[in-house]
Structure 1
Amino acid sequence: MKISRLSLYFFIIFLALFSCKKNNAVDISQIYGLWKTKSGATYTKESFNLNADKTFTYKSSGHISESFSFGKWEVVKDTLILNSVMPKECYYLLSFDGKCESSHIIKDELIYKTIDECESPVPNNFFIEFKSSKFIITKDSLVHKITHKNCEEIPYKITLYR
């Protein structure tokens, strides 16, 4: 009786250890390439290009302005993390994570620039800063995980697709 009970315990432990779903690492080669957003705003087009050398570029164009960014990316478990590299030129600066529904309205006290006390060469061209911006990696999309806590309104849900 003791042998069968002992065997049963080992069998239960074996099942518990090997039947748990493991958090497999993401195959990063699957995320290289061009991703586009569907954020609900039909007049804005956004795209990300994730390069194999772990750099990225971001472009956005709307009816009155253009935005861009570039930098480095990394994957931690199931999360893509983007960090911008600041340009050496002067541009207006906006935070990607601070993107709220009324973020297109700029108030004087909220205007930041890539270089303090500089003049922006183009008034409708913005550099978008990604500061540890997180996207959850799923089978066919990248879902932005909002980390900005100071939005007065509900932020957009931003999902990237192929």
Structure 2
Amino acid sequence: MSKIYFILSVILLLVFVSCKNETQKYIPNKFERIWYSIDGRLKIDSSHAFEYVKYTCVSQSISKGKWNIVNDTIFLNSFSPYGCYFEEEFGIPPSADTTQFTPLKTTEKNCEPNSGYVNFRNEKFYIKDSILISKKSTYYENGEFNLHTNFKMKNYYE
């Protein structure tokens, strides 16, 4: 009887030793990467966070927030900014009327910002032909592709 227990113990030991403990590999989704517009960079990472940086010839704007995916669409929502920034909404171009001065909205009253904060408020994007396309402003009025609110996988300047 003890010989049977010994043999069973050896067999069980061999079974347990031969089992592999494989850790699951993380497979990134198709949105997770760094995307480029003509004047900005959008980094979507695996921790459901995003960072956006927009450059112009005289200024820079940023945004940070969280994302989630529903079907084939990613939704971006910015955190409330902390600090003194000019506030702007993603995808809304500045006024074309340069003859009138419109005071810019700031994140704090009576502050003098050095940069801007871009608000993403439930902004929706999808991927088509390797391009991250904004559902808000896909095209300009004349039918040309909007290079400011849609993103490519490669930098425009490479």
TM band (smaller chain): 0.5 to 0.7
Runs of 4+ with deviation above 6 angstroms: 103-106
Determine helix, strand or coil for the equivalent of 1:112.
coil
Query: CA separation in 2, counterparts of 1:160 and 1:37?
Result: 5
**Greater Rg by CA:** 2
Residues 35-73 of structure 1: CA distance to partner in whole angstroms, max 9, x if unpaired? 0014xxxxxx21100010110000111211111101011
Q: CA RMSD in A?
A: 2.9
**Which one-letter code corresponds to 1:65 in the other structure?**
S
Task: Give the alignment partner of residue 159 of structure 1, picking from 127, 150, 156.
Answer: 150
Q: Could you tell me which of 103, 108, 119 is aligned with 2:102? A: 108
What TM-score does the superposition give when structure 2 sets the normalisation length? 0.65
How far did 1:106 drift? 8.5
Q: Which amino acid aligns with 1:85?
A: F
Q: Which residue of 2 aligns with 1:120?
A: 112
Instruction: Show the counterpart of 2:22.
Output: none
Indicate yes or no: 2:67 matched with 1:73: yes
- Counterparts of residues 19-98 of structure 1 (less than 5 Å): 29-38=29-38, 45-98=39-92
Q: How many residues matched?
A: 121
Unmatched 5+ stretches in structure 2: 1-26, 154-158
Structure with higher strand content: 1
**Which of 124, 127, 143 is the equivalent residue of 1:137?**
127
The residue type paired with residue 130 of structure 1 is F
For the 8 Å contact 1:92–1:113, the answer to whether it is kept is yes
Q: Deviations over 1:87-114 (max 9, x none)?
A: 21011100003236749998425x2122
TM-score (normalizing by structure 1): 0.64
